[in-house]
Structure 1
């Protein structure tokens, strides 16, 4: 039966390795994790069983392009019961798709993960009856994956509320650690795990060096002229996309940029021209190509090193899906690794941001609950949407908040029955909401919940039930998050848990970049290195499919240790102490202000990272930190060593403390080092920004006492360190 569907609908005579095993496992209603390389045919693993079922199959994917392409392809194959719900649809189009779900016309529904935060939508799915729940790009559920997305962590609750249908999780880039995290996070029960080989013998891997940024274009040109388009060039930024595309065109290569700064219409036009072979080369940010199945991509060139090996494997895997020889080339420039590290440092969410977000929640709360639009919450904390999502999850994990489904902000209703006795057969909570509804008109969900004496989530569920039963007509307006505060303030224990979680996320990003750096510097088989990263042990050298084995890179001489063998040593080196690193940056900022110079002139970020990791005990050890030297160690040694000693002797000050408390801590360190004059300057500045709160603290400190408690000051100024190091 699966083979007949495979041939009739998709035109294939037989399954690829692993596909049939996954399909049969799904048809047995068993939880299944499938790990297959990019281009390995993951979509057939759920499309075939979905077409063999009468019930609804829900496919969760973050890729709008994948949704559109697959739905369009299924429609072309005369499969009418497929549709997608994503932000690319108009409100009218979304309503029509949801209506078709409720009436049972849709059998295969693609949805973005954030859509499943809607209570009303999940209730409609439950009523329709979900027979299979598919999680595509399942590595997004893992904090150790290269593309972690907080909304994915809500999916297990959705599965539970849908009645626990079988789950199929699919990914192309899961290491053994990420596989375990997917099974744990999705709460899969006795899953069958199918892992096919990551080896793509038709791909040749190369790394070429560009010492200066201006050398990248000639290197790219050389490879593009040697290889036959079509191909993709990946760049780090919008500007780099534009510059490289312009440069390629000036040398006769027809190329177009693709990035988020272009209009949706322009991006669609570029993608369409590329898919139809009208455009030979696209220069794009990494989002391009996700889920787009173009089989004849002959090369994938990375103008800047990727952020991780899983990301690189996924992006490079877009080449040669037709099985024909194709090339994957990384242009390595040492400065780009530093640039990547700075981007990680600047983009990471920190404890201070978590405190700001929690303070915003406290201000917005009513009776311990927060019901506001997500954009309002992010704006109140001064954060972007991605950072808000990560921090909400960190607060939830620490027990500071509990987040449920997103709810309607308001609802416009019209009661179809005016006989109140009709509500007697309803469940008590539904009857209470029914009685509280206006005859017609709009009401906020909060007002309706207050009048009926139930929680907002219960009120929305009741309205949906009345709407589904034909008792009322209801049109929801807007959406709000639904949060319950689990604490009145972030005490030390909660802050420690949050800080630890955020440090783990940041450390994972740095660790992945280091692994990518190891790959770029290899002097042994690159193919073996990539396969080993994903837990596949194969002895391939000489593989004939990488620059090392082809003799284009100098082989290791006797006694030389390869980068692959050095990897465990690199990983065992002590990581930066994030709390100490923040204190060092604050100290550096004060020095820079005093001297009137940029902060990186005092110490670069890489220096401070090394100091926080090594924790030197004297000036000599400080001078041995790479890039510091004895002269600089002698100049700043007393202050830095005092700061290190203070950090080691007790709990470090919280990263989210108000500025006046941080300055007082710096003054204490200076006093301990015998630098009384400098300590006075810090105390004066603390009084400037902290006023009476700072004065009381200083009085107690100078009298030998300590304050009863250190209260948070949500309005204190906090300057973020944004300079490049």
Structure 2
């Protein structure tokens, strides 16, 4: 059966898309889809994730539903399918006119559309789900699947709607796609989506063509000068071709650095969420077409960038996690050629990042929302709820999201929410506060791991890969610590602990060993997140127990 599917997939890829050969990881995942398995595919951007659903969809009886978080990504994918001569693809989103939406649904219901792209918030509409059910969705695709996980760096509550909708559609085979997913994120994706008989396709996180480096700075002015000087140096170097990215923490800083680069003769544009949509599109287009050398951006500039010749990514501010950092530097060197990735770091950045990401649970709002929903005669719309409580929509949304995650409330269709009668307000609030505090602990642990990467004198690539549960036996030779000689191979302790070994801590409970160094262990605990432990302290005090 598998060999027959392999032949069918290779033929479809060749005839429709002109691909002479599929990569082994692509073909493996596609075969799992045709065999009816749910699939979680973790592949670097540029490794052909989209093909994993595009090709099997040609061989299934019914449309492929593709849930994608960004409208620009949806439009790009539809355009690529159209140019390839693939069967029709349509988009359904809030920016369309009524006539455009009607035309899209007509194509779906007539069986003409092979691919249907929509944003996760569309799944809150009962009529959308019903139309999809009637269309007989044959494949349920979730792009940027890490957004479903509260362990992830880009959690989006809208993604929580995926599981009940999936069941409403009869749970067709699922393809969950992401470029960045550490082991706990992968586990969370599987659990939250309710994936069945799941097969994982996970490629190496190693990008050996990227040179990793950290530059220490004493204050903001020194860092700003260092970043501008380094970007100028790279762009004006003989033979420079391609582009560069500089990531900043604020809109104002992106504008300032772009201006300073321009004053030094570097073609640069700022990008952030505060720009008009047409201006953001202009920056995207200019960078893609090579009309601008450097884009200075906040994290808003990210998903959907498919420029293979980005030669450097500089960070003028520390990201909130290694997940975010890896995703952002991963935009460099997709053509396989050398690229520089450099973090310009101040020690106090980590304190600021902890402060910025620390958000207390809105206990009073949780209590008010829970009571109002329990007292309501039936399901309530979020706008009506906020109005009745004289509270902001944002605070109500956050409270509802927390209550939904602990199972106290659920979506009731048509954008309405209902409270479970068997869950008291006190229980709902207690559970939601506990969940929020656990999430804050995780966020703090991720910030600490970001600091560990910045401060390590060992091989940075070993540290980075260890965070994702991948063991690199020898120092990489292509990072600043390797070049400085501080990361030379050191004998490992012949201890009991190995990467991916399940353990239990006396205080922190169960966890998994993520990285092993000669003097320390990095463990990811279910309750408190990442912790770095002294091997000597672990052994002398018997802190960890291996779970057989």
Q: Find out whether 1:157 has 2:157 as its counterpart.
A: no
Deviations 1:311-342 (A, max 9, x none): 11111111111111112111111222122111
Q: Which residue of 2 aligns with 1:370?
A: 379
1:263 to 243, 268, 276: 276
Cα deviation, residue 371, structure 1? 2.6
Q: Which residue of 1 aligns with 2:448?
A: 514
Decide whether aligned partners of structure 1 residues 571 and 486 sit closer, same or farther in structure 2, where only a CA change above 3 A counts: same
The secondary structure found in structure 1 opposite 2:41 is strand
Cα deviation, residue 210, structure 1? 1.9
Q: Provide the alpha-carbon RMSD of the alignment.
A: 2.9
In 2, Cα distance between equivalents of 1:237 and 1:544: 33
1:208 to 203, 211, 215: 215
Decide whether aligned partners of structure 1 residues 545 and 159 sit closer, same or farther in structure 2, where only a CA change above 3 A counts: same
In 2, Cα distance between equivalents of 1:56 and 1:557: 52
In 2, Cα distance between equivalents of 1:73 and 1:575: 43
Cα deviation, residue 570, structure 1? 9.6
The structure with the greater share of residues assigned to strand is: 2
In 2, Cα distance between equivalents of 1:292 and 1:354: 38
Contact residue 230 and residue 296 of structure 1 kept, 8 A: yes
Contact residue 230 and residue 279 of structure 1 kept, 8 A: yes
Contact residue 458 and residue 486 of structure 2 kept, 8 A: no
State how 1:5-44 maps to structure 2 within 5 Å: 5-44=12-51
Q: Which residue of 2 aligns with 1:312?
A: 325
Deviations 1:133-173 (A, max 9, x none): 11111112221111112221221111111011011111121
Deviations 1:412-451 (A, max 9, x none): xxxxxxxxxxxxxxxxxxxxxxxxxxxxxxxxxxxxxxxx
Cα deviation, residue 567, structure 1? 6.5
Contact residue 373 and residue 380 of structure 2 kept, 8 A: no
1:486 to 421, 433, 437: 421
The secondary structure found in structure 2 opposite 1:550 is helix
State how 1:176-325 maps to structure 2 within 5 Å: 176-224=183-231, 225-226=233-234, 228=240, 229-325=242-338
Decide whether aligned partners of structure 1 residues 191 and 233 sit closer, same or farther in structure 2, where only a CA change above 3 A counts: same
Contact residue 17 and residue 85 of structure 2 kept, 8 A: no
State how 1:320-469 maps to structure 2 within 5 Å: 320-345=333-358, 347-361=359-373, 366-367=376-377, 369-372=378-381, 374-378=382-386, 388-405=396-413, 407=414
Cα deviation, residue 86, structure 1? 2.9
In 2, Cα distance between equivalents of 1:402 and 1:179: 24
Decide whether aligned partners of structure 1 residues 120 and 566 sit closer, same or farther in structure 2, where only a CA change above 3 A counts: farther
Q: Which residue of 1 aligns with 2:539?
A: none
Q: Which residue of 2 aligns with 1:619?
A: none
State how 1:555-574 maps to structure 2 within 5 Å: 568=521
In 2, Cα distance between equivalents of 1:183 and 1:257: 37
The structure with the greater share of residues assigned to helix is: 1
Deviations 1:520-569 (A, max 9, x none): 1111111111211111112131x122111122x7559999x999777758
Decide whether aligned partners of structure 1 residues 16 and 301 sit closer, same or farther in structure 2, where only a CA change above 3 A counts: farther
Q: Find out whether 1:503 has 2:437 as its counterpart.
A: yes
Decide whether aligned partners of structure 1 residues 216 and 46 sit closer, same or farther in structure 2, where only a CA change above 3 A counts: same
Q: Which residue of 1 aligns with 2:92?
A: 85
Q: TM-score, normalised on structure 1?
A: 0.64
Deviations 1:586-613 (A, max 9, x none): xxxxxxxxxxxxxxxxxxxxxxxxxxxx
Deviations 1:220-262 (A, max 9, x none): 2333222534011111111111111112112111111111111
How many residue pairs match? The answer is 494
State how 1:6-155 maps to structure 2 within 5 Å: 6-155=13-162
In 2, Cα distance between equivalents of 1:384 and 1:49: 45
Cα deviation, residue 204, structure 1? 1.2
In 1, Cα distance between equivalents of 2:30 and 2:283: 35
Q: Which residue of 2 aligns with 1:525?
A: 459
Contact residue 32 and residue 192 of structure 1 kept, 8 A: yes
Contact residue 151 and residue 389 of structure 1 kept, 8 A: no
- What residue ranges of structure 1 are gaps of 5+ in the alignment? 408-479, 577-725
The secondary structure found in structure 1 opposite 2:303 is coil
Contact residue 350 and residue 502 of structure 1 kept, 8 A: no
In 2, Cα distance between equivalents of 1:375 and 1:239: 32
Decide whether aligned partners of structure 1 residues 381 and 329 sit closer, same or farther in structure 2, where only a CA change above 3 A counts: farther
In 1, Cα distance between equivalents of 2:179 and 2:394: 23
Q: TM-score, normalised on structure 2?
A: 0.83
Contact residue 523 and residue 556 of structure 1 kept, 8 A: no
In 2, Cα distance between equivalents of 1:317 and 1:252: 27
